[in-house]
């Protein structure tokens, strides 16, 4: 094996600090404004972008890169708020759909401006256009690598 | 407020996917090899780099960017494994130190190669040297911005 160089170590530490601080910051912002963590917001936002505001649970887990059990827990909480509901999938007896309710959509519309402002202030207002482009490219490379690991240890397949 | 452009949205989504997949991947790797999540490993590693393998709890929280309560919980678990112990701070009656034990150091030495190999395979083996440098610079910009937010809502001050 090969250890990280000093530059690589510094990069890795800065990356961990950036992602830890960012996740904390966005969780706090959304907890304050909407009483939900960032991951729940991402579920509502993902559903809102589909034509009928609904998606199979397995696909929702895959899109958001989380485990089925974590998704199931989140959906139960969001059902309790009246923002989501589960429906049986008409084309597959064993499948279930997550459906964004009108109340969930309204909540998303209400909280989106504050969330987008937070993301912009933390990232895009601070990076040059070139850096924003580099971040996109680097993120796609890392995500692609982990989307096809050896074996099938992907979160949404567990 | 200003919405994200399409390019910014795509970048933000790729970044979220990359960080979610990476954290899951490293947690799984360390749970399998050492029975601890990535954050616990980061605590042991941070202590191992100090001269006497010890650090004030408040500073350890600040370095790792986590809340005091999260740190306290993690330290209790690591104490249970015999990898850390708490000591009173000689220079400050109310302060406490986290001390890496010899067993904790040995565990770190045992698990470091597998962890570094995973980090290298997920990131540095996949990026060009220029991209690795860009990632470091971008991460520092984002972390610096969140280290000095308006107000004092930093994790380790809560």
Q: Note whether residue A103 is domain-resident.
A: yes
Residue B83 DSSP SS3: coil
Residues in a beta bridge with A85:
A99
Touching A: B residues 73-112, CB under 8 Å: none
Is A132–B17 a contact, with Cβ atoms under 8 angstroms apart? no
pLDDT in tens, A74-114: 999 999 999 999 999 888 877 899 999 999 999 999 999 99
How far apart (Å, rounded) are the C-alpha atoms in residues B103 and A80? 45
Residue A141 pLDDT grade (very low, low, confident, very high; cuts 50, 70, 90) = very high
The pLDDT of residue B152: 61
B45 reaches A (C-beta below 8 A): no
Label residue A158 by pLDDT band (50, 70, 90).
confident
Q: A53 in the Ramachandran plot: left (φ > 0), alpha (ψ -120 to 50) or beta?
A: left
**Per residue in B36-58, pLDDT tens?**
999 999 999 999 999 899 999 99
Q: For residue A131, is it within any domain?
A: no
Whether A17 has its CB under 8 Å from any CB of chain B: the answer is yes
Is B137 an 8 Å CB contact of chain A? yes
pLDDT of residue B158: 75
Question: Is B52 among the domain residues?
Answer: yes
Residue B150 lies in a domain: no
What does the pLDDT read at residue A151? 54
Q: Supply the pTM of this predicted model.
A: 0.92
State ipTM: 0.92
Does a structural domain hold residue A16? no
In a domain, A34, yes or no: yes
Confidence of residue A152 (pLDDT cuts 50, 70, 90): low
Say whether B97 sits in a helix, a strand or coil: strand
Closest partner CB to A138 (pick from B20, B21, B134):
B134
Q: What is the C-alpha separation between B50 and A30, in angstroms, rounded?
A: 36
Residues with Cβ < 8 Å from A112, sequence gap 6 or more? A45
Judge whether A51 is closer than 8 Å to chain B, CB to CB: no
Given an 8 Å threshold on Cβ–Cβ distance, is B4 in contact with A143?
no
The answer to whether A116 contacts B20, with C-beta atoms less than 8 Å apart, is no
Per the prediction, chain B carries an average pLDDT of 93
> Could you list the residue range(s) of the whole structural domain that residue A109 is in?
25-114
Reading the block at residue B70, the tokens are 């999260």
pLDDT band at B151 (very low <50, low <70, confident <90, very high): low
Question: CA separation (Å) from B14 to A132, B50, B51?
Answer: 12, 35, 39
Non-local CB neighbours of A158 within 8 Å, separated by 6+ positions: A67, A68, A69
Confirm or reject contact between A9 and chain B (CB < 8 A): no
CATH number at residue B72: 1.10.10.10
pLDDT in tens, B123-148: 999 999 999 999 999 999 999 999 86
Q: How sure is the predictor about A14, in pLDDT bands with cuts at 50, 70 and 90? A: very high
Instruction: Tell me whether residue A84 is in a domain.
Output: yes
Distance CA A82, CA A74 (A): 12
Give the model confidence (pLDDT) of B76-117 as tens digits: 999 999 999 999 988 887 789 999 999 999 999 999 999 999
Report residue B39 CA to chain centroid gap: 5
Task: Report the mean per-residue pLDDT for chain A.
Answer: 93
CB contact under 8 A, B135 and A17: no
Give the closest-approach CA distance of B37 to chain A in angstroms.
14
Q: Please judge whether A7 and B142 are an interchain contact, meaning their C-beta atoms are less than 8 angstroms apart.
A: no
Contact B127 A141 (CB under 8 A): yes
Contacts of A98 (CB under 8 A, 6+ apart): A43, A47, A54, A55, A56, A57, A60, A75, A84, A85, A86
* Cβ-defined contact of A134 to B136 (cutoff 8 Å): no
Q: Nearest Cβ partner of B147 from A21, A126, A134?
A: A21
Residues in B touching A127 (Cβ below 8 Å): 138, 141-142
Our measurement of the distance from residue A86's CA atom to the centroid of its chain's CA atoms, rounded to an integer in Å, reads 19
B60 domain-assigned: yes
Q: What is the pLDDT of residue B156?
A: 81
Q: Considering its fold, how many domains does chain A have in total?
A: 1
């Amino acid at each position: 094996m090969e250890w990280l160089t000093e530059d690589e170590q510094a990069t890795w530490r800065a990356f961990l600090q950036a992602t830890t601080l960012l996740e904390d910051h966005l969780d706090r912002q959304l907890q304050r404004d909407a009483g939900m963590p960032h991951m729940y917001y991402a579920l509502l936002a993902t559903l809102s972008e589909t034509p009928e505001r609904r998606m199979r649970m397995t696909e929702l887990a895959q899109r958001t890169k989380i485990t089925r059990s974590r998704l199931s827990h989140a959906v139960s909480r969001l059902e309790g708020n009246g923002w989501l509901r589960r429906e049986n999938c008409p084309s597959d007896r064993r499948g279930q759909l997550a459906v964004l309710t009108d109340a969930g959509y309204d909540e998303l519309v209400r909280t989106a401006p504050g969330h987008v402002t937070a993301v912009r202030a933390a990232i895009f207002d601070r990076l040059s256009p070139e850096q924003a482009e580099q971040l996109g490219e680097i993120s796609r490379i890392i995500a692609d690598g982990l989307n096809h690991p050896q074996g099938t240890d992907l979160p949404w397949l567990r």
